[in-house]
Chain A
Amino acid sequence: MYKGGKIIASLIIFAALFTIPFFYNMGKVNAGPDVALDTPAIQQLSDKQCVESPEFMRANHMKLLNQWREEAVRNGQTVYINSQGKEYPISLQDTCLKCHANGSASKVALSNPASSTTGVSNPAINESPEFCASCHDYSAVKPKCWSCHFEPKEAAK
């Protein structure tokens, strides 16, 4: 091979550089989020059940939210009937946030855009550990819901 030594050496250096993050993090603990399902807000509820089963919600909540959005905004269908036949109003504020609320944020606070990196107020990442942030931080998926919708206000009554 013409200049084979140089090519192979460069390839080894490239491979080493490319895999540095992998070796750097090898063996370090990277535990997934530990989402508590018995927060004070949830404890106070008489019906401790989400609109669908936890397994379904974990896998499909983003699809469900998209469907809710389409149905409520575009088709005027503002009530969701779940697989058990129970009805829920399609509302982040009145349905989701009753359980997935952050107890520490006592009132609706509008974030300052100056402190956000995207130029758009997006408090979802720092707020509400029981809601989006714990899992979404872990998987580095940033939802933009709270740039318009109100973030979890207080523990539901």
Chain B
Amino acid sequence: MSINRRQFLRRAGMVTALGIGSSFVITGFRKKDAAASGYTKAAKDMPAKRWAMVVDMSKFKSEADMEKVIEACHKLHNVPKFPNTKDEIKWIWKDDYHHTFAGGHNEYLDEHVMHSPFMVTCNHCENPPCVRACPTEATFQRPDGIVAMDFHRCIGCRFCMAACPFGARSFNFKDPRPFIEEVSTEYPTRTPGVVEKCNFCYERLADGLMPACVEKSNGGLIFGDLDDPNSEVRKIVSTKLTIRRKPELGTQPSVYYLVGGGEHA
């Protein structure tokens, strides 16, 4: 028995319609997974368009003030202390003037400024090169400007470390857990093979708290929404002379430095 073209097309069409139709029937009867569930932000969550930090160097009188800030951050986030500096993990640290503001320095600069250490951390750039370098999108930019990391996704390729012009990223060459002196249950630890860095305490912002370093800085670190014209950071950045690290690279850092006191600047 043979069929002609018309019959063949008609039968093929009917079979196709039947197949598509029955698949709808089957999925319609299937029990839905978590039908009405959803997600929302915490009630205490602090919204912002662009989180930024101002480092007021005049408030850091001694290195002890800086150590206090570093300690608060590193304790909270379970940052390990490795004896070998090659393995060092740092979220916020201090560095000298020449490293912080590399290139074209003024040799007649005030001795105090030239030789005192600066607080440095991840700059949470507006154009973050680390985000572009990351092949797995483990590093990403949140809508509030924070350059955050999803440690679950990090494959340890360290492209981001090469891309970051500020050396703000550290790699876990060893299991960090045995090197954590005092364990904080507020934040998870990391595994070997994962990069880490400052996250502007986004887990605290979701709870309505300021970053840990800001709380311990006695006003030396000022944190707020740069997009909000009434925020303190915005007022400082728009009225006083602040400098940023390596602005010529065009990454638009969100960490501003207020150097040399308020009244002259």
A contacts, CB < 8 Å to B? 52, 56, 60, 63-64, 69, 71, 73-85, 87, 89-90, 93, 108, 110-113, 119-121, 144, 147-150, 153
B191: A residues at CB distance < 8 A: 120, 144, 147-148
CB pair B152–A150 under 8 Å, yes or no, is: no
CB pair B183–A108 under 8 Å, yes or no, is: yes
* Interface flags, B124-154, vs A, CB<8A=1, else 0: 0000000000000000101110001011100
26 contacts between A and B (CB under 8 A): A60-B33, A60-B34, A73-B148, A73-B150, A76-B144, A76-B202, A78-B206, A80-B38, A81-B36, A81-B37, A81-B38, A82-B34, A82-B36, A82-B37, A83-B34, A83-B35, A85-B36, A113-B175, A113-B178, A119-B192, A120-B175, A121-B175, A148-B151, A148-B190, A148-B191, A150-B185
Tell me, rounded to whole Å, the shortest Cβ–Cβ distance linking A14 to chain B: 40
The residue from B35, B142, B150, B188 contacting A149, defined by CB atoms under 8 A apart:
B188
With A77-B41, A78-B206, A119-B192 given, is the CB distance from A93 to B36 under 8 Å? no
CB pair A56–B45 under 8 Å, yes or no, is: no
Is B42 located at the chain interface by the 8 A CB criterion?
Answer: yes
A71: B residues at CB distance < 8 A: 39
Tell me, rounded to whole Å, the shortest Cβ–Cβ distance linking A143 to chain B: 12
CB pair A148–B37 under 8 Å, yes or no, is: no
With A78-B42, A79-B39, A113-B175 given, is the CB distance from A150 to B188 under 8 Å? yes
Minimal Cβ-Cβ distance residue in B for A145? B188
CB pair A110–B35 under 8 Å, yes or no, is: no
CB pair B177–A83 under 8 Å, yes or no, is: no
CB pair B180–A110 under 8 Å, yes or no, is: yes
